[in-house]
Amino acid sequence: MTALHLRRAGMALAAILLLIWSLGPVYWALATSLMKPTDIAASPVNLVPPSITFEHYAKLVGGLFGQPDETGIWRDFLRALGNSLVLAGGATIATTAIAAIAAYAAVRLEFPGRNLVFYMIVATLAVPGYTVLIPLYRMMVGLGWVDTYGGIILIYISAYLPLSMWLMRSVYESLPLSIEEAAFLDGAGRLYTMVRIVMPLALPGLIAAAILTFLGAWGQFAVPLVFAPTAATKPLTVLIPEFATKNYVDYGLINAAGVFAMIPPALVVIFLNRFLLSGLMAGTGK
């Protein structure tokens, strides 16, 4: 076997190992969610469900189809799913919009302390979130924003805005200034130029910022654990661990809820990725 063949075999093996490492937990969550409790606890471990059951999924969404459920888990689950969508979606829209405008101002507008303000905002990326939870909680209590969508979304914005601004500033700096100057010569104003000319060219950056923000907000645990103590705003990341009680851990129910929790971020990435590719092509053409 030649050196080329060995290199290709090594790359193939590395790719297979990476694939197993990445998709293995996803498969295990799906397989466990389809097993009966007795099959989950069996020894040796069942890598493939001996028999498939949907009883765990029925507990989560069966109430929608009229199936009786004395525990009421499906109500808590659907409420938490809706909360996750509202919190992550609201944070994504607000963060992306603010970052688009603020980064443009940091690149194109001249005002005293422009770079200082930008770098002070970006510097907050170096501050661990858990170090400010207590003062942030006291502040939110004083404002009456604990256990509210607005308060939690505001915290998400403060967490993900610096990264989005940093990303968008790099995008704006890569765009030629001559395009905007041509628009100004044609009589276009600053706002019109930014919205109708610059934003379409910066679409890949905007979508990348939106994806990063949504995935980060969707997977948040510490913030909603502290600031969403009731079912009114509690997201899936906080609800799912509650399925593990002191006396019993329902692995099947936890993994079924985890499978449901994977679907929205996967759909967001797939949906936005289409616009990301089209934005890249449009930017290249222009």
- Report pLDDT digits (tens) over 32-81: 999 998 888 888 888 888 889 898 888 888 766 666 666 678 889 999 99
Instruction: Please state the separation of Cα 19 from the chain's center in Å.
Output: 22
Q: What is the mean pLDDT of the chain?
A: 87
How much is the pLDDT for 27?
Answer: 92
Q: How confident is the model at residue 285 (pLDDT cuts 50, 70, 90)?
A: very low
204: preceding bond cis by omega (within 30 degrees): no
Q: For residue 244, list its beta bridge partners.
A: 249
For tokens 């063949």, the residue is 5
Residues in the chain: 286
- The DSSP symbol for 244 reads B
Give CA torsion, residues 248, 249, 250, 253, to 10 deg: 140
Q: For residue 249, list its beta bridge partners.
A: 244
Q: How confident is the model at residue 6 (pLDDT cuts 50, 70, 90)?
A: confident
SS3 content of the chain, % helix, strand, coil (to 5): 80, 0, 20
Alpha-carbon distance 39 to 45, whole Å? Answer: 8
How much is the pLDDT for 66?
Answer: 60
- The DSSP symbol for 45 reads -
- Residue 275 exposed, middle or buried by CB count within 10 Å (0-12, 13-18, 19+): middle
Tokens of 259: 């499978």
Domain ranges in the chain are 3-53, 73-285
pLDDT tops 80 at residue 175: yes
Instruction: Please state the separation of Cα 2 from the chain's center in Å.
Output: 45
The structure's pTM equals 0.87
pLDDT in tens, 224-238: 999 998 989 999 999
pLDDT tops 60 at residue 212: yes
Q: Specify the fold of 73-285.
A: MetI-like fold (1.10.3720)
- The DSSP symbol for 236 reads H
Percent of all residues in the chain with a pLDDT value above 70, rounded to a whole number: 92
Q: How confident is the model at residue 275 (pLDDT cuts 50, 70, 90)?
A: low
Tokens of 91: 């944070």
Alpha-carbon distance 51 to 26, whole Å? Answer: 19
> What element of type H or E holds 47?
none
pLDDT in tens, 86-141: 999 999 999 999 999 999 999 988 888 888 989 898 898 888 888 888 899 999 99
